[in-house]
Amino acid sequence: MELYTSFSYVYTPVVNKECVKCSAEFEITKEDLQFIADVAPVFGGQKFEIPPPTHCPDCRQRRRLAISNEWHFFPGKCEMCDKVMITEYNPREGRVIYCRECWHGDKWDARDYGQDFDFGRPFFEQFNEVRDRTPALALNTQGNNQNSEFIHYAGWSKNCYLIMHADFCEDCYYGYGFKKNLFCVDGFYNLHSELCYDCVDVHKCYGLIGCQDCQTCNSSAFLRDCIGCHDCFCCVGLRNQSFCFMNEKLSKEEYKTKMAEVEARGGLGSYKEYLKWREKLKELEKPHAFKEFHGNNLENCYGDYLNHCKDLHRCFDCEDVEWGRYCYQLVLGSKNCMDIYQFGTNLQQSYECSTCGENSYHLLFCDNTMMDSSDVYYSLYMEGSKNCFGCSGMMHHSYCVLNKQYTREEYDKLVPRIIEHMKKTGEWGEFFPSETAPHGYNKTTAQLYYPLTKEEALAQGFRWDDYEVPPPKVSKVLEAGDLPDNIADVGDDILDSAIQCEATGRLFRVTPKELAFYRRVGVPLPRKSWEQRHFDRFARRNPRKFWERKCGRDGCGCAISTTYSPDRPEKVYCEKCYMEELY
């Protein structure tokens, strides 16, 4: 049963403020202020209040995204063991980079890069000095990974390649937002699924091709907004159906006949046939009515793309989260969080963080702080650490400031002085400034959700990165249009060649495991680079923005708040009308 009361979410506006970044007006509620007061740190019995936000929710989110490079990779080398690898850091920046094994090893100590706090200088200036000279982890991976050297913002995976924001996966390639998947390729938010290809937002599915917004479906292709279906082809809005072809219910024998006709024309292994059926699905979607939000099993939530959540306000892409505000991509048991971008996994009582979690508690203004960390403030790349302030790249340490070790008594006296200093400089309560981010704006996730031209980014104080990764060295380059139409006609020699992306002109290669998957599933070789395919899948999803509309069902017309903009062609129903229409 779907529970969803998001659009009657009760919250109490307290004051309207003007964003210091974009000048937009935004609300701060009693719930916001109460949470911020609850998480304010305490030293010596004194609570050090955190001021209310000065940026609107979008600008706060963009500031967190602007330090996160999730899919732009560069050639690199471990400064400790000389291992050649890829890294998220531009080699022109001169950062010292360690591979995963060396970074987690015992041959170095981040405290060797510490420094005293200077009360005559701003905090962020001093923090950036420590950050820039402390060795950085080449790629952000966590947990026990096997044969998965090329994954990022991911962990606990086996035989995976270029998956991001992903955990507990096996034999998965080119995916984003993957959780507990097996043999899933080219997907965006595939959760608890197996053998899925080119799918967006599928949950607990098996054997799907080219599907979107589906749950518990299997052995099907080109489905949209379907639940509990199997052996269906090019269908929209089905519930618990089987042997349907273009939304027509058939007998098992009739369905097999239809599918045999598809195979006779080359099947989905033919690139032309694949594109044809993708377009047919779009045509089939036009008369379909879509629900005002994406999600299920929700209670008192306001957001989109939510699953199994309770008491969320303006949250997106969350699963198994309880009480959150302005949170994005939190998963697996997170609770009591505000202004968080990504990860979670039992993250609790935390505020203004990016990519933090894994059994961590009370993190404030942190980036990449995880693995049983607690009471960590203004720090990044921390693992298993507690009671640290302004630290970078530390593992299993406590009572450190700017990577320098202190006793508990010294720490408890020094941090309150630093907070008071930051109040005077206007830094206390603000996330890391975007102008000091370690990556160019165009190489970060911010560019995906809040795109800017180079001129616009520089004018707004962001950095820009013009570095281009050298093309792969191969004996032969094939234009996308010269590839065999059908996967059955592709030889192993493709592995020695590079393909020129038909959208960007960039060269990309096909890996042996990738080719084996295409042959096994029966889908054509891609004509676009893996990055462009990722951007194309992103474009198929709704934006993280709400519009006020009326329910599109005749005779209803009730007010709804939805991520479907009014200028889009889809019919959008309120939840009540949608349920009546489909059930």
Could you report the per-residue pLDDT of 533-552, keeping only the tens digit for each? 999 999 999 999 999 999 99
**Euclidean distance between CA atoms 111 and 328, whole angstroms:** 32
Domain range list for the chain: 1-56+292-470, 193-291, 476-539, 547-582
Q: Which residue bears the tokens 């949209």? A: 224
Which of the pair, 375 or 568, is modelled with greater confidence?
375
**Euclidean distance between CA atoms 470 and 80, whole angstroms:** 24
pLDDT at 404 over 60: yes
pLDDT at 475 over 90: no
Judged by DSSP in three states, 256 sits in: helix
Calculate the alpha carbon distances from 494 to 198, 472, 475, 507, 514 in Å: 21, 14, 11, 13, 11
Residue 256 has what pLDDT? 97
Among residues 127, 25, 5, which one has the least CA distance to residue 425? 127
Residue 427 has what pLDDT? 98
Q: State the CB neighbour count (10 A cutoff) for residue 417.
A: 12
Residue 204: how many CA atoms within 13 Å on its side-chain side? 8
Q: What's the rounded mean pLDDT across residues 187-214? A: 97
Least confident interval from 150-154, 271-275, 470-474: 470-474
Residue 226 has what pLDDT? 97
**Euclidean distance between CA atoms 389 and 526, whole angstroms:** 47
Judged by DSSP in three states, 197 sits in: strand
**Euclidean distance between CA atoms 193 and 186, whole angstroms:** 13
**Euclidean distance between CA atoms 137 and 78, whole angstroms:** 9
Residue 139 has what pLDDT? 95
Residue 424 has what pLDDT? 98
Parallel, antiparallel or unpaired: strands 173-176 and 185-191 = parallel
Q: CA angle, 338 as apex, 334 and 340 as ends, to 5°?
A: 75
Per the prediction, the chain carries an average pLDDT of 95
Q: Is 375 within 8 Å of 364 (Cβ atoms)?
A: no
pLDDT at 465 over 80: yes
Dump pLDDT digits (tens) for 317-365: 999 999 999 999 998 889 999 999 999 889 999 999 999 999 999 999 9
Residue 158 has what pLDDT? 97
DSSP H or E segment with residue 408: helix 408-425
The residue count of the chain comes to 583
Residue 473 has what pLDDT? 87
pLDDT at 13 over 90: no
Which of the pair, 1 or 305, is modelled with greater confidence?
305
Q: State the CB neighbour count (10 A cutoff) for residue 106.
A: 6
pLDDT at 238 over 90: yes
Dump pLDDT digits (tens) for 94-119: 899 999 999 999 999 999 999 999 99
In this prediction, residue 11 has a pLDDT band, given cuts at 50, 70 and 90, of: low
Percentages helix, strand, coil for the chain (3-state, rounded to 5) are 25, 35, 40
pLDDT at 6 over 70: no
**Euclidean distance between CA atoms 350 and 208, whole angstroms:** 37
Q: What's the rounded mean pLDDT across residues 244-264? A: 98
Residue 163 has what pLDDT? 97
pLDDT above 70 covers what percent of the chain?
98
Dump pLDDT digits (tens) for 129-138: 999 999 999 9
Which residues partner with 155 through β-bridges?
142, 167
- Here the contacts of 223-232 (C-beta below 8 Å, separation 24 or greater) are 224/281, 224/284, 224/285, 224/288, 225/288, 225/290, 225/291, 231/255
pLDDT at 9 over 50: no
Residue 434 has what pLDDT? 87
Which residues partner with 572 through β-bridges?
290
pLDDT above 90 covers what percent of the chain?
92
**Euclidean distance between CA atoms 355 and 141, whole angstroms:** 11
